[in-house]
Each structure stands twice: as C-alpha cells, then as structure tokens.
Structure 1
Amino acid sequence: MRSVLRQRALQRGQVVAIALASGFDVLSMTLAAWAEGLAISLLPHELGTSSGKPDDGRLNGMLELIEPALILGSEPVRQQLSQEWASRVLTDVALGEALGNVQALHEPARCVPADQAILQFTSGSTGLPKAVCISQAMLSANCQAIAERVAVSPSDRMVSWLPLHHDMGLSAITLAWWCGIDLVLMPTREFSRQPLAWLQALSRYKGTLSPAPTSAFALLNRLAGRVRDGELDLSAWRYAWVGAEPVFHDHLRQFESAFACHGLQSGVLQPAYGMAEAVVAVSLNPPGQSLRVRWLDTRALHALGEVIELGEGAPGSAAYLGNGKVVDGVELRIADEHGLALGEGSLGHIEIRGSSVISQYLKVEPVRRQGSDWYSTGDLGFLLDDEIYITGRTKDLITRAGVNVSPQIIEWALESSLGLAAGSVAAFSCIDGRLARESVVVVMASNALAGRELDDLRREVARTAVRHAGVQVDDLVLIRRADFPRTTSGKIQRQALCRRYLGGELSSVAATQTSLSV
C-alpha cells in the first residue's frame, strides 16, 4: 500500500480521504498513509437518501474543506463527485490492480508525533460539519488514556460495527492497534439490517471490548425476546463504553436484565463522555463499576443552577447518569457564561483542556476563549465527586419563563412513558411568528399513535412534559421516524426540525394551534 502512495508522489502532510465501507483496504490505507507522514480523513461512503435521491453536495463540501491529494472510494462515490475531485479518486477496483503491480516496501515509518494524523469531521447540528485536526501525539495520548482506564490486556479482543467515519468507530480500531489486540470488524450495514448480529459476533469470537451508542442498546432491548436459550454466550464481554449521544440509565439496566441469562455480567456497560475535539474520550468509568444515578430537582437545576437530589421517581425529578471521571491527560471544569470556574454541584458550561484536546478546527481560528487555554465543549453539566454528569447542549436548551430545560429530559420521559424506541422524539423551542410567541414543540414518530386516540396521546404528552420537565408543550407533530433529520452519527437535528416546522414543511397529522392541555 505504501508503494501505491509513493507512485502517486504524495508529499508529507497531504491528506488521503477514504470513503469505503469498513474492510481491509481501509485499514491498510490508513496505516500506510501514517507511515508515509500523511493524514487521513474517513468520510461517509453510503451516499444518497432512503428516497434514492443523490448526495446533496455534502461530500463535495467536505472534500473542498480538507483538499485531499488522493481519494480512495468506490465507483458510485466517484460518480457523485465534481470533476475536480473525481479526477483524484482511486477506486477500490483500481487499488486492487495497482497492488498487484508493485513491490511491498519494508521501511521504517516516516511519521513523527507532530504530524497530522486525522482530519475528523464532527457530526454538526446544522450546515457542513467542521474538521478536527488530530495529531499523532494527540491520538497516542488518548489511546493510552483509554487503555489505562479500561485496563486493556493482550488477551482482549475488540468487536465493532460502528462506522469508521465517526470518532467512536475510529477509536475502536485505533485502540486495538495501539494495544496490539485482536480486532473483529463487522459492516455497519449488517448491524442496521440485523442488530442481533452484533451480539452473535461477540458470542462467536469471544469479544471482550465493544463500544456502542445508547440507541443500540435500546434497540436490542426490544429484540431480546427473539434470542433462544443457549444461542448467545456473552460471558467474555467485559467492557462496553456507551456514548456518542445522551446515555440513559433505564436503557442500560434493561439491557443488563434482558441479557443476563445469556452470560452478560453486571458492570459491563459503562457510560462515557467524549467528542472528536478530544480525539474521542474525555471521561470513562473503570471496569465493573455500578451505574451512578442521581434523581434531581429539574426546576432547581435549570432555574437556579443548583443540584438538589430527590427520591427516585419523585415528581419534578429527572434521572442523571454519571459518565465517569476524566481520563489521564485531560482536565475538566464547569464554568459560568463568563468563563469563571464553578464548584461541584453547580450547573454550567463544560470546558476541557489537555494533551488530546483540540487547539483549532481546520481553516478556523483557534477555538479557545482569548487568554484561556480551556476549550468550551458546548455541553452543559455538573460535577459530583469528580464525576461528570451531562444535562444537555447549550444551543438546544428550551427556555420558558426564564427557566432553561434540556430537551433530552422531555424526549427521554416521552420515550419511556410511551414505550418508544430511542430517537423517536425530538423537543425544541422556537420563536413562532405565526402565533407571535415562543413555542415548545414535540415532534414524535407516528407509530406513537398506534392503538391510541389522538386526544389521549396529546394529553399524555402534556402531562409527561409537565411532570418531568416542568414545561408546557404548545404543539405536537407526528411524522415518519425515517423523516427525522439526523447527523452522520445518528443524532436528531433539532434545529433542522425547528426550521422545517417554522417553514411549514412538516406534514403533521397532529398539529394543534393551541397549547396542549394537561
């Protein structure tokens, strides 16, 4: 593979973009590029939409940002690109032919710690995502920190279905390489078609390490009844870091309960906090730790910024799950809107710094506040006993009567009370010119109506939102679950939904033009 790159006369520091499904070619090209002192950027390879429409220019926009010298992709990918980028594509078929005509190189790697290793695209909530500049030194520091916290040993085996263009998926292979352990990759599409295939792979290959987002566990909870006795053996699985989206304790506890009869041990599922801007991991729990859940007064938390614990399930309370302590090499603090540090038990902006934390995005000015070396993550949370609890993102906050409420609380409460799959509900607030007021809107997958009267559903939504978040819902909209706009990592884009709502683009079967009554 290095010989192929040499034939292309690529120069140190240039970028190789890879838009292929997980496989040997992707892994080999990544390692070869690094050995040549090149950076890589893994891009989504499945273009188009469920309706069959072509890519909307998003991939071309990514390429314009990173300006790769070489693009490794399939012929369908090449056909989607503008002429400028199509001319730089080396298809997987052409790569196979080229590899048959070159001699393998046996030379020491040319990379150094300061070299750019990865241009990692963030998920982004609107517009084109940004590219995080990750050096070899940053990558090494974060891999080592994860390995130490998870206590990786030579006997471990990584199993992953996560897309490699997402930071969590990429971390699975880089950690396996860093620690020199076995790696089993299954295509992301296979998990999408048959989610239980992930657990079958863990069972077949005796996987010990395997990360996934919360939604994967929530989905498998609904499929647990299809697994026959003796079909799975999950006893080797010892650690699963759960992240990439808000982590809710009931999803994890249900999964532990559902699959305990198949050998799953308590303490395998561990909530994590991370982001591409820190390579991937910011905080992790050690293996075997029990879930730390706090039931907090939501009014006190969001109106006063105070952490007040209530009894489990108490009216006006919501459950917040601990995401572990920061990994080595990373510092974390809670700050107010002016950048002043707050103590434990205070809600504020999460800021981080350290050896694996971003200094800037590609072609963007430094991302830290002038005179500060802290990076503001855009997330809200608090610290208790040095453990981080996430409450939401700044830009998605719902504000009513001066009280800030995280939309995740409303979404979690409705999904739980109505028995919906994770990712079936979105909540947001918007300045509604049609009604001359700020409205709180809930958009819900239309299957929530199955077997229910519309009026009954409206009342349930209203009661649940008031009980768990203390806010009144002004409008309820039902759409197909497939029509929710999502980021590359599967998160619902609330701001995109808001724009569609205000523009009258949502085809609602339950829109009300007045507040929902309790």
Structure 2
Amino acid sequence: MTMATSPADPHFRSFHDALPAATTWEAVARGAETAPHGFALRVIERGGAEAVLTRGDLATLAAAGARALAAAGIAAGDRIVLALPASRLFLALHLGAGAIGALPVVVAPPAVPVPDPARAHLADIARRAGARLLIAEAEPAAALDGLEAQAPGLTVAAADRLLAAGLRAALPAMTADPRGISHLQQTSGSTGAPKLAVVHHDRLSANLAQIAAAICRGPEGVGGDVLVSWLPLSHDMGLVGLNYALRWGVPMVLADTGEFVRNPMNWPAWMSRHKGTLSPAPNSAFQMCARLARLRPPRGLDLSAWRVALCGAEPVHARTLQDFSAAFGSHGFAPETLRPVYGLAEATLAVAIPPVGGCVTDPVDADRLAAEGVAAPAGDEAGRRLHAVTLGPAVPGAAIRITAPDGTELPERRVGEIEVASPATVGGYWQDPAESARLTRPDGWLRTGDLGYLADGRLHVTGRAKDLLILGGRNFTPAQIEDVAEAAADAAITPAVIAVGLTDETIGTETLHLLLDTRLGPEEARPAIAQRIRDALAEAFGLTGIGTHWIAAGLVPRTPSGKVQRFRCREIVAARLADRQAAASKNKTTPAPGRITG
C-alpha cells in the first residue's frame, strides 16, 4: 500500500508558493533590503562567545565570503570543502559560495592534531568532489599541510586569512541560478564509504516547504517559530535546519556542536533562555539530557514555549522519549511536543513527520515479525512483543511505499524496503553514475535501503537492509536487539550495544555478536551485565549462543556525523574471533561457543 500526498496537494503547494525566495542567497539579499535591522541569527561559537546578526549582517558576511572566494579563483560550479565550526566564518563562506554559484561540501571540522583517519576522510571527500579549496580554521589548516598531495588540484586555506585577502577584491556577480545545485551533501556512510548527494535549489525548496507544511498550520505561522540548533552543519539535519531559518525568515539560535558536547544541558538552557519553539536532535541527545537531568535536576528552566521537538537521524527509542518527557515535564515540556521523524540525505532531509506530537508505538508480535516479516498487532496471545515507534505519514507532497526485493509493492504491515516519491529527492550522487542508477527504481521511486512497514498509513522503520540479521531462519534488525539489550543493561547512554551478525559455517547460519560499551559498568560488573542482556534476549526473542565483546566507546567506528559503521564493527568482531581461534590453536584448545567475551 502506498501512503501518499501529491506535489499538487493544495496544503503542500500553499507552503511551497509562500517561500519568500528560490535560493538561500536570494532570501538573504531580500531580507537585507526589506528589514536590514531585523533579527536573523544568534550564533553561539566555540568557547561560548555569542554574536547577534541582523539580516543586513548576513548579507554583509555573504558579500565578504563571495569576495574572498572570487579572489582565490573560485567561480560558479567550483567545489569547495568547508571544515569549519558553526561561526561567523562559516556563515560568510557558506553564504558567499551560494551567492556566486560555487558548490560547498560541509564536513566536520577536524581536531588538532588531525588524526590519520580524519585526514584520509578529508582527502577522500576532496577527491570525490574534485574540490579546488578546503577551508578550515587557522590551526587545523596548518595541521593539514601536505593534504594537497593526496587530492590533486586542492589548496588548503585558513578561513581568516582567506577573508582578509578578499577585503579589497572586487565584488563578483552574486546571482545564484535557482535551477542549479545548492550544495553536495555527504551521506551517512553507516554501511560504506560516504557518497555526495547532489542537492538542487528546487529540491531544497520543496523539502523546506514539506517540513513547514508538516509542523505548521499555515504559511503565515512559519515565521513565528524560534529555531534552536546545535546539530553539526556537516549533517543534513543541521544544514537543512540552517536553510530552513534563512529561507523562511525564522529567528534562529545557531550553536556550535562542541558547546553541546561540552555540556548537553546547554541545549534545554538555550531553549529556555531564548524561548525556543522548534528544535531537532537525534535520539542520543534526548537520552543524554534525560540522564543528566535525573542525576542533577536542573533549576529555573522554562520549556513551555517548546512546541516541536523533532527526533530523528538514528533509531528512535520510545523509552528515551518517555524518559525525556518525565525529566523535563516539571519545566513546562509537554509530551505532545515530541515528534519522532524519518528522513535521509537522498530525500534532501525529511520524509515522514507526524502531524501531531507525542511518542506513539505500535505493539506487534515479535515472533511473526522475525519469522514472517509481518508486523501483526500483538494480541493477548502474543508470546513476545515489540513496540515499534510510529514515525508519521509521508510529509505533504511526498509518498511512501514498501516493496519486496523484486520491487513488488507490499500491503500494510508487511516489512520491506522503504521507497519514497517526492519533489525533494536528490539528483543522484556526484560523479557516480553507477550508484546514482541504483538509487532509483525505473518508475522514479527512491530506494532508501531502509526496512520498515506501514500501519494505518504511518511509517515504522525496522532497520537497514544491509544490516539485516538472519538468525536461525528468522530476520531481525539490529535496532530490535539493541533496544532490548540496552533496557536490560539499564543503559544511560546510547548506542551502548551494537549488534552484528557473522556467518558460522559449522551451523550454516549467522551468529549474533554484541559489542558492549565499557561505560555500561565497571569491569567487575560486566559479566553480570552481559548475562542480563543474554537472558533478556532469550526471553524477548528466544535467542541463544550470543557472543559479547566489550569495547571502549572511543574505539567504535563511526562516520564523520557520528553514526556507527556496522560493517567496521563486524570486522572488529571477526578479528577478535580470529585472534581467539589462533590463541586456542596455539594452546591446542577449542574455544567454547556462544558466550565469548573480550
């Protein structure tokens, strides 16, 4: 069954037609003309320094960035890599690039000294993009000396020096083509190397209209929000969020991600201090704040203005959202503020957003889900239950369908691949025709690679197709297993458990292995924690013979946006098992199956 609205849907069209401009630069320029002294952004930079920017200030920053880039030889169509934190430097160069038609690729700013994996990632992104310029702050730029040898045609530049060099340069033509490319967006890279999705201005416009139509009653109400975001600008949710504020004229508090990492409770404090009404974040952020609020209850917060809290970018756990509501309810946070959502870079961002708030779950028969791929409602006779979080219908103007591997559309409550039809789907991957061709069906529907089902037209995501675990002939997604395991371990952080499957040739099926975060408990408590997890998984799913492997959080392979790279986790488990087998062979012993620890 397809759950859809059409690009011709009047609700979507009313928002799309109401967008003040066709490009972000046009919106900035128009804002500077009509209300130069109007509030635009409050930027909270690394270290806590704050700057209040008017709409006129944004246009001035964009002009400075355009001059600097033009003086460096950058023209329309050239690619640049921005490795900058949220700051006035970032705004100048990002807006300046958009104004002259250059194509920015935003990446996470590297730490200093730059770790080898981060250096390799930056070189890879620069090569893939064919970038002419990589711009970082002065210290990281100096630490990246020699990167040019790994990416032909690339120059590494310090942002402050670049802007200073452009002060006396002539102002280039600033007329971004509304039919052209807005930016190149890194994909998550959780199942392989990140790709660069091509996001056009019109696709971005469509998604900004879809988001507004999903969370606002009418176009006239969009500007009444106050958006607060600390999300990485290298992530689609962070960058689209910034564009949402600039294009709709929504007042915004833009905080550097490092200020959240330094103290996650800064987030609710910003919402309270600035009367924030709209803020997105991943599940892990909600969990961190809920845990910290339990440990040290905050004082003086007023979250009564917060009307939409979007939770996405990673699996959403009902327990986390319930804990967050409980922790901040006495501070004016209403449970209906929460909206679990679904999206991906290949759809620009948003795909499914509930029209009303609150965390709703769908109790299903866990045994039938695993054995048959059917999300049957859990009746009284169900032996094991799974509570799938409801993520809402397709955003206005889009459609969702669920398909079998051969492309056949599946009925409601059958698990299959989630596919999307939307005016916001991207124009493929940069310079990668083979992967771009695999991205869509012949009928134009976008293949997400995610698994899920529809129930009453609402989407429920069960996992990634590439991560599917086949255990004893039954299908499980990592999220199903991890949610039960983390609850059994009373995890205060997430992800604290990472589930992977390895083929065991002796029994002809996959065996389940869990990477357990050492922060779950001290060394002496870990055997008991692992046993509680095994007992919980046996009770919930009938699973036995589970391997457990302890790992420090800093050793878990992650993408630049922080998502777990499961294929790398499988490699870690396989290497540990090989080492164990080698040690056992040397000692002429046979490793005991199942309860592997390490």
Letter in 2 for 1:389: H
Match of 1:282 in 2: 351
1:308-353 CA-to-partner distances (Å, cap 9, x unmatched) read: 1226997411110111111123221000010011111211111112
Change (3 A) 1:233 1:499: same
Instruction: Give 1:437 shift.
Output: 6.1
Q: Give the Cα–Cα distance (whole angstroms) in 1 for the partners of residues 106 and 267 of structure 2.
A: 22
Residue in structure 2 matching 1:394, options 452, 458, 465: 465
Match of 1:150 in 2: 215
Match of 1:98 in 2: 165
Instruction: Give 1:370 shift.
Output: 5.7
Match of 2:196 in 1: 131
Match of 1:456 in 2: 528
Instruction: Give 1:455 shift.
Output: 4.6
Letter in 2 for 1:101: R
Asked if the contact 2:472/2:510 (under 8 Å) is kept, the reply is no
Q: Give the Cα–Cα distance (whole angstroms) in 1 for the partners of residues 519 and 381 of structure 2.
A: 26
Q: Give the Cα–Cα distance (whole angstroms) in 1 for the partners of residues 103 and 335 of structure 2.
A: 40
Q: Give the Cα–Cα distance (whole angstroms) in 1 for the partners of residues 302 and 381 of structure 2.
A: 34
Match of 1:3 in 2: 67
Asked if the contact 1:465/1:473 (under 8 Å) is kept, the reply is no
Letter in 2 for 1:60: A
Alignment of 1:89 with 2:160, yes or no, is: no
Match of 1:43 in 2: 107
Residue in structure 2 matching 1:231, options 288, 293, 300: 300
Residue 447 of structure 1 aligns to a residue in which SS? Answer: helix
Q: Give the Cα–Cα distance (whole angstroms) in 2 for the partners of residues 452 and 312 of structure 1.
A: 40
Instruction: Give 1:470 shift.
Output: 3.3
Match of 2:248 in 1: 179
1:247-282 CA-to-partner distances (Å, cap 9, x unmatched) read: 011100110111011111221111000000001100
Greater CA deviation, 333-342 or 365-374?
365-374
Residue 341 of structure 1 aligns to a residue in which SS? Answer: coil
Aligned ranges 1:106-505 → 2 under 5 Å: 109-151=174-216, 153-225=222-294, 228=297, 230-286=299-355, 288-310=356-378, 315-365=383-433, 366-368=437-439, 371-420=442-491, 421-432=493-504, 438-450=510-522, 453-504=525-576
Residue 74 of structure 2 aligns to a residue in which SS? Answer: coil
TM-score, length of structure 2 as denominator length: 0.80
Q: Give the Cα–Cα distance (whole angstroms) in 2 for the partners of residues 146 and 383 of structure 1.
A: 20
Letter in 2 for 1:64: R
Instruction: Give 1:149 shift.
Output: 1.1
Instruction: Give 1:456 shift.
Output: 3.2
Q: Give the Cα–Cα distance (whole angstroms) in 1 for the partners of residues 77 and 250 of structure 2.
A: 28
Asked if the contact 2:225/2:251 (under 8 Å) is kept, the reply is yes
1:283-322 CA-to-partner distances (Å, cap 9, x unmatched) read: 1112x42322111112211321212122699741111011
Instruction: Give 1:12 shift.
Output: 2.0
Change (3 A) 1:15 1:258: same
Q: Give the Cα–Cα distance (whole angstroms) in 2 for the partners of residues 92 and 437 of structure 1.
A: 53
Letter in 2 for 1:71: L
Asked if the contact 2:470/2:509 (under 8 Å) is kept, the reply is no
Letter in 1 for 2:214: R
Asked if the contact 2:67/2:167 (under 8 Å) is kept, the reply is no
Instruction: Give 1:36 shift.
Output: 1.2
Change (3 A) 1:156 1:312: farther
Letter in 1 for 2:175: R
Q: Give the Cα–Cα distance (whole angstroms) in 1 for the partners of residues 223 and 77 of structure 2.
A: 33
Change (3 A) 1:449 1:25: closer
Asked if the contact 1:367/1:375 (under 8 Å) is kept, the reply is no
1:180-230 CA-to-partner distances (Å, cap 9, x unmatched) read: 011111111111111101111111111111100000011111101355564
Q: Where does structure 1 lack aligned partners over 5 or more consecutive residues?
A: none
Change (3 A) 1:495 1:513: farther
Letter in 2 for 1:42: V
Change (3 A) 1:435 1:302: closer
Instruction: Give 1:47 shift.
Output: 4.0
Asked if the contact 1:329/1:356 (under 8 Å) is kept, the reply is no
Letter in 2 for 1:294: D
Change (3 A) 1:3 1:457: closer
Asked if the contact 2:308/2:338 (under 8 Å) is kept, the reply is yes
Match of 2:6 in 1: none
Asked if the contact 1:212/1:243 (under 8 Å) is kept, the reply is yes
Asked if the contact 2:107/2:560 (under 8 Å) is kept, the reply is no
The CA RMSD measured in Å over matched residues stands at: 2.7
Asked if the contact 1:73/1:92 (under 8 Å) is kept, the reply is yes
Asked if the contact 2:472/2:509 (under 8 Å) is kept, the reply is no
Q: Give the Cα–Cα distance (whole angstroms) in 2 for the partners of residues 134 and 506 of structure 1.
A: 43
Asked if the contact 1:462/1:516 (under 8 Å) is kept, the reply is no
Letter in 1 for 2:559: T
Q: Give the Cα–Cα distance (whole angstroms) in 1 for the partners of residues 515 and 381 of structure 2.
A: 25
Match of 1:25 in 2: 89
Q: Give the Cα–Cα distance (whole angstroms) in 1 for the partners of residues 119 and 133 of structure 2.
A: 22
Asked if the contact 1:273/1:284 (under 8 Å) is kept, the reply is yes
